Structure 1
Amino acid sequence: MQAELNLPGPYQPHAGLMAAFEACPLIAILRGVTPADAADHGRALYEAGFRIVEVPLNSPQPFDSIAAIRQALPSDAIVGAGTVLQAVFVHQVKQAGGELIVMPHADPEVVSAAKSHAMACAPGVATPTEAFIALKNGADVLKMFPAEQLGCQVVKAWRAVIATQVPLLPVGGITPDNMGPFLTAGANGFGLGSALYKPGQSATTTASHAKAFINGLRIARAGAKK
């Protein structure tokens, strides 16, 4: 009953996203990737264990990159777009094969557009008010952004009032070595940016960084259970 009291309405998260998140709760952010390289980086991430990949829309030809990654990866991977600032872009992401809309903010129109297309949505929130409004509008997970500013104490405070079945994902400044305190505070996963991928790096480098994050998550989870 308590979990139900901590939700603004029925919570029916996107099944595909939840399955991918259960397999690996790390979202790879390929900001700046090009269509020519996107598939190679997507495959490197998948082989390392990642199951969720986003291409921010302020990347070169992002819809082409989303399509390339979607075609390159098995169906259990979730591919989508980040930095989706306006609802008008949601349909284009869907046409490219995307299933996930990630935002730095919590614009209700963008969240509603994603849900109307049966897509998963991870809006960015920085206050409990934004978080509960986003959930009311249909958010699947909550992107706590920027994590550097919010910190572990805020995660802990939010976890006390937001239903446990709603994943909290700190994004911003996450490295393979600093995930433990966030998990202990109640985070469920993370969005990974420049520490995982920088424009122009090789797919081999992406694979190496991805493996470091997977190992860091394993260590952090073990520490959080103590």
Structure 2
Amino acid sequence: MSGSSYLPLVAILRGVQPHECLSLGHILVDAGYQMIEVPMNSPRPLESIGLLAQEFGQDVLIGAGTVTSVEQVQAIRAVGGRLMVAPNTDAKVIRASKQAGMYTMPGCITPTEALLALETGADALKFFPAGLTPPAVITAIRTILPAGTLVCAVGGIDGSNMAAYMMAGCGGFGLGGSLFQPGISAEAFKRNAETLMNCFISLSQSQESQP
């Protein structure tokens, strides 16, 4: 399965502990998620990524977020991670990620960064933080991007603003605080996961049915 074949909804488990990542992973996979990110500033992130990759890596794109160095890219790939999500546009990190065969989603906020990321090999663009790139900004930037570019909004995304970003041209999202926060109960996490997934699927189907 190629990166473009995965449902573009990234579950961000910032702050997850290794001992809980598999139970949360099962909830996500059961809810339909196909991309799971453990940010590098989480406790023992490589351990969690390795566990998730071993359990779900054949069917789900597992990897890291907040990736800021070539060394981190290499460490993530070494434990089985195949997803690289960065908060910024760093050509060295993007190239290293692509050379390692990883699905690469760097962060950008300006047309210059967006075009540089694509030129360097990015598979998708992460507009982050979404609060600084409201729908009107993404609509404008999309006009200068190559057709078919996957644009994802990340940072403060929930069921209340997903529709506006989709109308602006976002094909995917990164879900952080609206999905997971350290200490959340399994029941609350499952509810969040299902609610956000249902919202995304409903909006996607509605958009596809429009002439």
The two structures have a TM-score, normalised by structure 1, of: 0.89
What residue is the counterpart of 1:16 in the other structure?
2
Corresponding residue to 2:82 among 90, 99, 104:
99
Q: How does 1:53-202 map to 2 (within 5 A)?
A: 53-73=36-56, 75-202=58-185
Structure 1 runs (4+) deviating above 4 angstroms are none
- For 2:89 and 2:29, the matched residues in 1 are separated by 28
Q: CA offsets, 1:163-189, max 9 Å, x none? A: 231100010110022111111111101
What residue is the counterpart of 2:186 in the other structure?
203
- For 2:155 and 2:194, the matched residues in 1 are separated by 19
What residue is the counterpart of 1:4 in the other structure?
none
- For 1:164 and 1:208, the matched residues in 2 are separated by 35
- For 1:39 and 1:179, the matched residues in 2 are separated by 27
What SS class does the counterpart of residue 160 from structure 2 fall into?
coil
CA root-mean-square deviation: 1.3
Q: CA offsets, 1:47-83, max 9 Å, x none? A: 0010000000000000000011112225120000000
Residue 222 of structure 1, CA deviation: 4.4
Residue 16 of structure 1, CA deviation: 2.4
Answer 1 or 2: higher relative contact order, Cα 8 Å, separation at least 6.
Answer: 1
- For 1:129 and 1:17, the matched residues in 2 are separated by 24
What residue is the counterpart of 1:11 in the other structure?
none
Q: CA offsets, 1:186-214, max 9 Å, x none? A: 11010010000001213332221111011
- Aligned length in residues: 209
**Which amino acid counterpart does residue 160 of structure 2 have in structure 1?**
D
- For 2:205 and 2:74, the matched residues in 1 are separated by 40
What residue is the counterpart of 2:200 in the other structure?
217
What SS class does the counterpart of residue 80 from structure 1 fall into?
strand
What SS class does the counterpart of residue 46 from structure 2 fall into?
helix
Unaligned residue ranges in structure 2 (runs of 5+): none
The two structures have a TM-score, normalised by structure 2, of: 0.95
